[in-house]
Chains A and B, each alone.
Chain A
């Protein structure tokens, strides 16, 4: 298995632009998580899906952030409009119902908003 796939790996954009991050979870996993990681705040859960349904989006910072999971093999995280304080590494992770304590992380997208 290729593991969790994220794209792009790096994104540099200007303030006010729309940013879309993409994730393909491991086949057969039924839970998907979007995280943001910064030095100051560590790993923060933004939203997670179970069987393609959003379960908890309490970590989404504000209305500028939205996430979708149209099917079991694809999810997007969108920021519109982006701001410099959104600069961080964004991780996608997936897990199976058999071992939900084990989350498999993608390589991350390093976002820089100037």
Chain B
């Protein structure tokens, strides 16, 4: 079993829909939870990060972490064609010292149709 599981999709929605993207993880030591967005033929870029449990909102995007169920979510409201990309979740224990590894999900491919 991978440490972070993510349904690769693809997910196709009409413009304006609410999109829900999800990951599950197995290591209870994870404390940092990130969502990266990757456009076609580009490198991933950080979209949002959350420390520990709770919600974080940034414009049309909301990141949610439920540590009790080891579940990570990203919600996109009023989705736009420009949101079409692959969304990757990533986690980290955030330990001090030299540990800088992020553990990645496979990514979910999203297409928002005009």
Contact = CB atoms under 8 A, between A and B. Distances in A.
Interface of A: 4, 31, 33, 42-43, 45, 48, 50, 55-56, 91, 93, 95, 100-108
B43 interface: yes
Contacts, number: 53
Contacts of B105: 42
Contacts of A48: 100-101
Contact of B107 (A42, A101, A108): A42
Nearest to A50: B98
B45 interface: yes
B43 A108 contact: yes
Nearest to A103: B102
Summarize B's interface: helix, strand, loop or mixed: loop
B49 interface: yes
A100 B44 contact: no
Summarize A's interface: helix, strand, loop or mixed: strand
Contacts of A45: 101-102, 104
A33 B92 CA distance: 15
Contacts of A100: 92, 94, 100
Contacts of B90: 101
A43 B101 contact: no
Contacts of A108: 41-43
Nearest to A32: B100
A33 B46 CA distance: 15
15 contacts: A4-B43, A31-B100, A42-B88, A42-B104, A42-B106, A48-B100, A55-B98, A56-B101, A91-B44, A101-B46, A101-B94, A103-B46, A105-B44, A106-B43, A107-B43
